Amino acid sequence: MARWATLASLLTVVVVMLGAWTRLVHAGLGCPDWPGCYGFLSVPQDAARIAIAEARFPDSPVDVSKGWPEMIHRYAAGSLGLVVFGLAAFGVRHRRSGVPFRLPLFIAGFVVLQAAFGMWTVTLKLWPQVVALHLLGGFTTLTLLTLLALRLRAKPTSPPVGKYPPLVRLRPWLYGGLALVIMQIALGAWTAANYAAVACTDLPTCQGHWWPEMDFRHGFDITQAVGPNYLGGQLAADGRVAIHVSHRLGALVVLVYLGGLLAALWRHGGPAGIRGAVALAGAALAIQILLGLANVIFSIPLGIAVAHNAMGAGLLLTLVHLVWRTHGYRLGAGFHIHKTTIKREAAV
C-alpha cells in the first residue's frame, strides 16, 4: 500500500504538470464537453468524426492540437482516480489489520470533488474562480497522498539521544511558513486563471514603474459573473497588473520568511534527517524563485512555466515533509514515537 501511495503521489505530480501544460498552450477548452471530447472517447481526427463533432458543437470548431493536451490530462487524472479508489478499497478491506482507511477514503472523496471541478472548468468556460480552485485541488490531492505515503512508510525507530528545544520553539514558525506557501500557491493559481503572468514583462520594475497603475478591486473581484468564455482572460490590464504584482510581493515575503526560518533551523542543528529535510526545502525554494524570475525574463517559455508549476508543488511537499519530520519532537522529551510505531513494536 505504501508503494501504491507513493506511485499515486508521483502520478499526481504528473497530472499537475499536465494541467499546467494544458493551460499554458491555451487548450483548456480544447474539448467543449466532459469527460469525452466532442462526444468521443478521444480527440476526433478523421474527416468523418470531425464532421460529426462540429455538427454537435457548431460553436466550437475542432482543433486537434488543442484537443489532445486536454484529453491527455484527463486520461492521467482518470488513472490517478483509479489508483486512489484502489487505495481506499484496500484500506477498508484490511482496516482490521491496522491499515489506515479513513485518510484514503477522504482522499477518494476529495478526488471525486476534484473531478467535478474539472468538469465545471470546461462547462463554465474557464471561469477563474473554478479554475483557481481546481488548481488548488490538485495541490491538495498531492499533499494528502504524500502524507498517506509518509504515514505508511513510517518505520519503528529508537528515540535519538538528546533533546532539541530550539527545534520545538521554531516549529510554530514552520507552520507559518507552510501557510505562506499555500497562500502564495493560491495567488499563483489566481494569476494563472486570469492570464496575468504576462502583465509585467520587466524586472525588478513592472512596465517600467516600481508601482504601476493597478486596480486591486477589479483584479481580485471573486463575484464576477460566469462567461461567456474566459479563454485568454477578460480582466482589464490594471487588474492583471495588480494580480501579478501581488504574486511578486508574495514571492518576496516567502523568500525572506522561509529563507530566515530555514537558516535558523540549519544553524540550530538537530538530527541528520532534519538537516537533510531543511536542505531539501532550501533547494526547492531557491529553484522556485529562479524559475519565477526566468519566467519574466524569457517571457513565459513553456518548459520553464511548467517547471515553475511543478516546483511549486515540490516546495510545498518539502515543507510538508519537514513538518512531518519535526512533528514528533517535544520540548524536554526527545523524540516521541508515532502511535502506529508503538503498536508495531508492541505486536513484535
Residues with catalytic roles:
70
On whether the CB atoms of residues 311 and 254 are closer than 8 A, the answer is no
CA 15 to centroid of chain Cα atoms: 10
On whether the CB atoms of residues 211 and 238 are closer than 8 A, the answer is no
The CA distance from 162 to 57, in Å, is 68
Output the nine-digit C-alpha cell for 222.
Answer: 471573486
Output the nine-digit C-alpha cell for 187.
Answer: 495567488
User: Taking each helix axis from N to C terminus, what angle separates 165-193 and 128-153, rounded to the nearest 10 degrees?
Assistant: 150
The CA distance from 22 to 43, in Å, is 14
Element (H, E) at 112: helix 102-123
What Å distances lie between residue 207 and 204, 237, 277, 299, CA to CA? 10, 11, 38, 13
Output the nine-digit C-alpha cell for 239.
Answer: 487588474
| Nearest one of 178, 85, 191 to 135, comparing CA atoms | 191
The residue whose grid cell reads 522529551 is 333
